[in-house]
Amino acid sequence: MLELSPQHGQESSDKAIVAEHLCKVFNVTKGILRRTKTQVVAVKDVSFEVNYGELFGLVGPNGAGKTTTIKLLTTMLIPTSGNATVLGLDIQKDVTKIRERIGIVLGGERGLYTRVSAIDNLRYFADLYGVPVNIQKKRIKELLQFMGLWDRARDRVETYSKGMKQRLHLARGLIHDPQLIFMDEPTIGLDPEIAKETRNMIKELVEKGKTVLLTTHYMFEADELCKRVAIIRNGEIVALDTPSGLKKYVMDASVVEVEGFGITEKEVARFREVPEVLAVSADLSENKQVLKIQTPKGSEIIAEVQEILKNSRIYDIKIKEPTLEDAYLRLVEGSAK
Amino acid sequence: MPQTLRVIYSAFRMAMLHWIADPQWVIPNVIAPFVFTFVALTLFKEATGPFGLYAVLGGGMMGMWGNTLYSSGFAIEFEKWQGTLEEVVATPSNLLHVIAGKSISNALFGLTNMAAILLIASLVFRVPLDVANPILFALSIVLTLISVSALGLIFASAFVLTRSAQVFTNGLEFPIYVISGSMFPIGLLPFWVHPASYILGPTWGIEAIRIAAGQENVSLTFWLNVGVMLLITLAYVALAAFLFKKVETKSRRDGTLGQA
């Protein structure tokens, strides 16, 4: 049984996170002989709040600014402008105090010492986080049992599967029993079963009273886990609401889902030019291609669909109610239409 | 154990676990010293005086410094490759203490290099290695080891910023051998090199080691060398602490911590 302390309730702020107009601009140098400097705006004017005990989702496509936002809040980056408080502490002034109280799960194949065992990885980070020696042994065992890694605890991490490494990342993020945990795409690259297990573990952490800020680009994951979701695009938050609140955003439209073969990018682009089409997404990589068209016209648009796709094979056309995924697509990709 | 010491010990332990896990250390620590000793002793074959000890100590120092410099740079680069540097920086522990632990383990491994050279010279080449004052000889080696580790820390701070520590270490390795007097007495070097030699802790350490090797009742010069080396070492630690703070802030501003 994993013993974690619930919320401490003695914080100087009634919010776990308060981000106020956070901006991060990176200077990028190009060329060797003729060096030119350009500026890349990773995050611009991001403001949001997270309550204690909440599982808050930050959702957006790759390069939207999710990881940069997490790194700013976890003191791994210094903001260009704006500021934030984490557990009532200033991210620029109270760096060490924040680091003592938060956990970070960056995930992926990297970020672990692969030539040593899971126990050695956890023991090392327990020391760096200042976990008392008399607590370390018990905590490491409990965490590895909770993550289902105890049987392989003494094996080198390089022999672990992707899912096992991900669970070890989670264990490492919890080694010092933090009040607030930041998780950056914790299920990316995992097979569906392991991803489901990981989501269940995250839910359990919140049930134990932890506050979690999670980034993902899977909308169904945010829908299943998060109390509130912020959608970030090009470094800006474009929507922030509960999953059901976000779904309302697309209630004005239906989704026409087309399954076919031979659909080209050019044809997808033609849909984007149709005035009644609000957003289009297409998965053209597989043999069975799927095109999703958001439109208030519903079935009335089918004739136009057939006309645009006359050179492709259409297997099926369905009219569906919009999901949170569709709301996300509209918010993230709608402007590209 | 105070938290600072615990972090240094934990980083030391982690570095040792990696040394054990990766047996390629045999190449710089056993095979390379063997080759060096063979070359040095062949060159000094016709010389008279304590040539064997000079060659052996020079080789040992080269090993210790090479190991520390290479490993200090590699310690940071290794963390970047593994993607663990961000995780380590994200803890409340001071990065300087983490790298200090690794640096000490690396210098200690460098000592195995010196031990290997002593053994090879003595057993294989039958070189007489009479040490006049073994206790002060050992003490001066340990203090030089600490000084070398502290110098390695200063360079390690630069490796947080650069992606190509290897090039940097290769460029620095040989000049330090020469100006610290590891290869031959600094008196043989041009006078304008001397200031650079005197700000290096190992220069004074090597001199102390040589005195302890040659004199049973060491002169005041021995203690002067040890004292100056300790002062320089303290200055190195203070400079490294300052540089690490600056470098960490710059990395957090530029977003370079996660770059492999």
* Residue A10 falls inside a structural domain: no
Encoded tokens for A285: 């990589």
Residues A159 and A236 in one domain: yes
How many folded domains does chain A comprise?
2
Task: Examine residue A28 and state whether it is found in any structural domain, yes or no.
Answer: yes
Q: How many helices (H) does chain A have, and how many strands (E)?
A: 11, 14
Residues 157-186 of chain A whose Cβ lies under 8 A from any Cβ of chain B: 172
Q: What angle do CA B108, B111, B117 make, to 5 degrees?
A: 160
User: What's the domain range around A276?
Assistant: 252-321
Clarify whether residues A271 and A143 are in a common domain. Answer: no
Instruction: Please classify residue B129 by burial: count the beta carbons closer than 10 Å to its beta carbon, then call 0-12 exposed, 13-18 middle and 19+ buried.
Output: middle
Q: Which of A14, A2, A17, A19 is nearest to A236 (CA)?
A: A19
Which residues of chain A lie closer than 8 angstroms to B11, CB-CB?
Answer: 124
| Assigned domain for A1 exists | no
In a domain, B215, yes or no: yes
Instruction: Check the CA dihedral A238-A244-A248-A254 and report its sign.
Output: positive
Q: How many CA atoms, within 13 angstroms, populate the side-chain half-sphere of residue B70?
A: 16
A37 shares contact with chain B (CB less than 8 Å)? no
Which of A78, A96, A116 is the closest to B252 by Cβ?
Answer: A78
d(CA B254, CA B252): 6
Beta carbons of B87 and A77 less than 8 Å apart: no
Q: Does B260 fall in a domain?
A: no
Q: Are residues A27 and A80 in the same domain?
A: yes
Domain boundary (A218, A247, A276) is at: A247
Task: List Cα–Cα distances, A88 to A73, A95, A130, A136, B66, in angstroms.
Answer: 12, 12, 21, 27, 47
In a domain, A203, yes or no: yes
Based on the domain organization, do A91 and A21 belong to the same domain? yes
Residues A54 and A99 grouped into a single domain = yes
SS3 A119: helix
Judge whether A330 lies within some domain: no
Cα B193 to its chain centre, rounded Å, is: 21
CB B200 within 8 A of CB B176: yes
What is the per-residue pLDDT for B199? 86
Contact A120 B84 (CB under 8 A): no
Nearest residue in chain A measured CA to CA from B6: A127
pLDDT of residue B162: 67
> Residue A335: its pLDDT value, please?
47
Do A208 and A278 share a structural domain? Answer: no
| Residue A47 domain flag | yes
> Could you tell me if A225 and A309 lie in one domain?
no
Alpha-carbon torsion, ordered B100, B106, B107, B108, to 10 deg: 110
- Compare CB distances from B90 to A104, A110, A120 and report the shortest one's residue: A104
SS3 sequence, A294-335?
Answer: EECCHHHHHHHHHHHCCCCEEEEEEEECCCHHHHHHHHHHHH
CA distance B144 to A146: 47
What pLDDT digit, counting tens, does each position of B74-127 carry? 777 788 888 898 899 999 999 889 988 888 887 777 777 777 777 877 887 777
Q: CB atoms < 10 A from the CB of A29, how many?
A: 9
Buried b (16+ CB within 10 A) or exposed e, A207-229: eeebbbbbbbbbbebbbbbbebb
CATH of the domain at A271: 3.30.70.260
- Contact between chains at B10 and A124 (C-beta distance less than 8 A): yes
β-sheet bridge partners, residue A180: A102, A211
Residue A274 lies in a domain: yes
DSSP letters of A275-296?
TT--EEEEE-SSSSEEEEEEET
Contact A260, A315 (CB under 8 A): yes
pLDDT (tens, 9 = 90+) of chain B, 260 residues, equals 788 999 999 999 998 898 888 777 666 666 766 777 777 777 776 766 666 676 777 777 777 777 777 777 677 778 888 889 889 999 999 988 998 888 888 777 777 777 777 787 788 777 777 788 989 998 998 898 888 888 888 888 777 666 666 676 677 777 777 777 766 677 778 888 888 888 888 889 888 988 898 888 888 899 999 999 999 999 999 998 998 888 888 888 888 776 65
**B93, A130: Cβ pair inside 8 Å?**
yes
| pLDDT digits 0-9 by tens, A163-196 | 889 889 999 999 999 999 999 988 877 778 878 8
Closest alpha carbon to B87 in A105, A151, A158: A105
User: Strand pairing of A81-86 and A55-59?
Assistant: unpaired
Q: Tell whether A34 and A125 lie within a shared domain.
A: yes
The verdict on A239 and A262 lying in the same domain is no
pLDDT for residue A305:
85
The answer to whether residue B249 is domain-embedded is: yes
Are B90 and A99 in contact (CB < 8 Å)? yes
Here the CATH number for the domain that contains residue A124 is 3.40.50.300
Residues of B in contact with A140 (CB under 8 A): none
pLDDT given at position A336? 43
* Residue A187 touches chain B, beta carbons under 8 Å: no
pLDDT of the residue at A331: 79
Residue B66 lies in domain: 3-254
Is residue A30 in some structural domain?
yes
Cβ–Cβ contact A74 with B under 8 A: yes
CA atoms within 13 A on the CB side of B213: 20
Regarding whether A203 and A185 lie in a shared domain, the answer is yes
Burial class (CB in 10 A: 0-12, 13-18, 19+), B216: exposed
Residues of chain A with pLDDT under 50: 9, 335-337
A220 and chain B: CB distance < 8 Å anywhere? Answer: no
Instruction: Taking each helix axis as running N to C, give the angle between helix B51-82 and helix B201-214, from 0 to 180 degrees, rounded to the nearest 10.
Output: 140
Flag whether B47 is in a domain: yes
> For residue A74, what is the nearest residue in chain B, using CA coordinates?
B90
Check whether residue A115 and residue A177 sit in a common domain.
Answer: yes
Say whether both A129 and A29 belong to one domain: yes
The answer to whether residue B259 sits within a structural domain is: no
**Domain tally, chain B:** 1
Contact A77, A155 (CB under 8 A): no
Angle at A193 between CA A192 and CA A195, to 5 degrees: 65
Over its C-alpha atoms, chain B yields an Rg (Å, rounded) of 19
